[in-house]
Amino acid sequence: MHNGRLIDKANGYGIIACETCGFIHTDPVPAPEELESVYRDEYYKDEKPLYIERTIEDLRWWETVYDDRYEFLENESGRGSILDVGSGPGYFLKRGLERGWKVMGIEPSKQAAAHARTLGVEVENAFLDEKLASSINRRFDAVHLSEVLEHVPDPAGILKLAHSLLEDGGIVCCVAPNDFSPVQKTLSERLNFSHYWLAPPHHINYFNHATLSALLERCGFSVIGSSSMFPIDFFLLMGDNYVGNDEVGRASHLRRKRLDIMLNEPGLKEFKKEMYGIMAKHGIGREAVIFGKKEKR
Ligand SMILES: [Zn+2]
């Protein structure tokens, strides 16, 4: 039973700090049937028409982002097999192939799955549910869940399925928007910003580093690492207001891309890793990146 303080309302949904779940989510939680057609047919076509195009344009930057995740996984347990749940256009897995991983994707969008296949990536065009999970007769060394848990009605259910698809000692890497963060709280309390990050029904759940870590722990993982993606909302603190302004947003994005790419240079890279680790510790960063290990029984 979902139950908690009402924080705000958006697009006809309440937004509650649910005590049962331990994170913020919409009230009511949309039924899975309401969302299926959106992600199967419409999402990459209507909601994110530029998404694939922009991923390609941003690929050099994305590769640095993906490499950081692969490096963490490789340092923990070496190169093995990885399942990407919500694999989108497939570039995360393509990077895995290039690094010597065995890869598989699960992706509900027809357009995105078809695109991934043109990259030589094996993709199941489906939703991850119990039926699909039980049909997969292999176990993986890692599962990647990026920009998935905020979209699903039952994130704990998805994490339990990910757990069942991992080898003992396998690692899950979860990435989700870091919402109601100290930066966003400062923006709304001191600079009169609305809760502009609320986006139901597409974003049902609103995590931060702490609540996402706690959810992983409840689903059978030990948190072994946390990091952040660049706090793009620093631009708002600096006075560049990209909220509802795609042009300013794109310009801010270009600047953080340049910075991230330059911080990848030798002499700066170790600092970059530590900097994002420290941000994670303080709940700063536009996205939270949490690594959880399935303990050997
Ligand atoms: Zn709840």
- pLDDT category at 295 given cuts 50, 70, 90 is confident
Strand 205-206 relative to strand 23-27, pairing: antiparallel
Distance from Cα 98 to the centre of ligand 1, integer Å: 40
Distance from Cα 153 to the centre of ligand 1, integer Å: 10
At 114-147, the pLDDT tens digits run 999 999 999 999 999 999 999 999 999 999 999 9
Distance from Cα 25 to the centre of ligand 1, integer Å: 7
- pLDDT category at 35 given cuts 50, 70, 90 is confident
Distance from Cα 150 to the centre of ligand 1, integer Å: 13
Distance from Cα 232 to the centre of ligand 1, integer Å: 28
Distance from Cα 178 to the centre of ligand 1, integer Å: 18
pLDDT at residue 48 in the model: 59
pLDDT at residue 33 in the model: 83
> Which amino acid type is present at position 134?
S
Is the pTM higher than 0.75? The answer reads: yes
Q: What are phi and psi of 97, to 5 degrees?
A: -55, -45
126 bridge partner residues: none
Residue with tokens 């709280």: 185
Distance from Cα 234 to the centre of ligand 1, integer Å: 30
- In whole angstroms, give the CA distance from residue 212 to residue 206: 9
Q: Is it the case that residue 34 has pLDDT exceeding 90?
A: no
Domains and CATH numbers, the chain: 4-294 (3.40.50.150)
At 169-222, the pLDDT tens digits run 999 999 999 999 999 999 999 999 999 999 999 999 999 999 999 999 999 999
Q: Is it the case that residue 297 has pLDDT exceeding 70?
A: no
**Which tokens sit at 105?**
């994707």
Distance from Cα 2 to the centre of ligand 1, integer Å: 4
Q: Which of 14-18, 36-40, 90-94 has the lowest mean pLDDT?
A: 36-40
Residue with tokens 């930066």: 183
> Which amino acid type is present at position 188?
S
Q: What are phi and psi of 134, to 5 degrees?
A: -75, -15
Distance from Cα 6 to the centre of ligand 1, integer Å: 12
